[in-house]
Chain A
């Protein structure tokens, strides 16, 4: 029988660091007008979205799944 298992410790570590970095990038994105440096803003937004997607991917494929009991 296989059951879904998660690795809570790893989840907390990866989401804490990932979330912190994404939050800094998002804060910088929101704190200055876009026209002051549009390209920087574009990279920051892309970084926030991609890093959250990457964290979700890592969580789904490596930190959880069906394992034989």
Chain B
């Protein structure tokens, strides 16, 4: 009798534990090349990377920028729950995407099809498109679905992307209307003037470098970080 209660309580604990794991582990939707986006979600958040600058050169040891974005996407996908899909296109399924081969496994061609059909400027990307309409790839030519919001991460820092994704996750979970922003919205004249000034000053300041070559001592100082 005692053994029966012991095994029964063990089974119950196991069932409860598995149940908790299953309900807690929301994972983002990672769509590989051969798969279609699954239907039935309330919203779809598509990460589209069409900007070649986000892919490191073949000599780079690690694509930190892309890995950083992927980690943020992963957290965002988990935060928005299982009723909202966060979609990232892969060439093939892989257990671990956080490796040096991450860039090689991103399905750029598929992202490019979306960018082209929805008139998203590659240089302003990566883009995040949030839509409540199923993004049917066979009807891409009909343009960006209604009730879509487009976010451009091209000029944003990692912190800004993180903050924006946190706010978006709040909006999606609380089923608030996601404002079709705005990052490319025309800003005030003085902001554009400031941007132009910043651009001119940057190109001027970054133009010089200081080099010392004294036998065994060699040093080179750049006014701006070189990539």
Do A and B share a complex? yes
Residues of chain A touching chain B, judged by Cβ–Cβ distance below 8 Å, are 26, 29-30, 32-36, 38, 41-42, 45
One of A33, A38, A45 near B156 (C-beta < 8 A): A33
Known: A26-B201, A42-B190. A34 touches B195 (CB 8 A): yes
Contacts of A42 in B (CB 8 A): 190, 194
Residues of chain B touching chain A, judged by Cβ–Cβ distance below 8 Å, are 155-157, 160, 183, 187-188, 190-191, 194-195, 197-198, 201-202, 205
A45 to B194, Cβ gap below 8 A? yes
Main secondary structure of the interface of A (DSSP, over half): helix
Q: List 24 A-B contacts (CB under 8 A).
A: A26-B201, A26-B205, A29-B198, A29-B201, A30-B198, A30-B202, A30-B205, A32-B157, A33-B155, A33-B156, A33-B157, A34-B194, A34-B195, A35-B183, A35-B187, A35-B191, A36-B156, A36-B160, A38-B187, A38-B191, A38-B194, A41-B194, A45-B194, A45-B197
- Total of A-B residue pairs, C-beta within 8 Å: 35
CB distance from A47 to the nearest CB of B (A): 13
CB distance from B111 to the nearest CB of A (A): 23
Distance in angstroms between the alpha carbons of A29 and B183 in the assembled complex? 20
B198 to A41, Cβ gap below 8 A? yes
**Top-6 shortest CB links A-B:** A34-B195, A38-B191, A34-B194, A33-B155, A41-B194, A30-B202
Please name the residue on chain A nearest to B192 by beta carbon: A34
Distance in angstroms between the alpha carbons of A36 and B190 in the assembled complex? 14
Contacts of A38 in B (CB 8 A): 187-188, 190-191, 194
A34 to B201, Cβ gap below 8 A? no
Sample of 16 further A-B pairs with CB below 8 A, known A33-B156, A33-B157, A34-B194: A29-B198, A29-B201, A30-B201, A30-B202, A30-B205, A33-B155, A34-B191, A34-B195, A34-B198, A35-B183, A35-B195, A36-B157, A36-B160, A42-B190, A42-B194, A45-B197
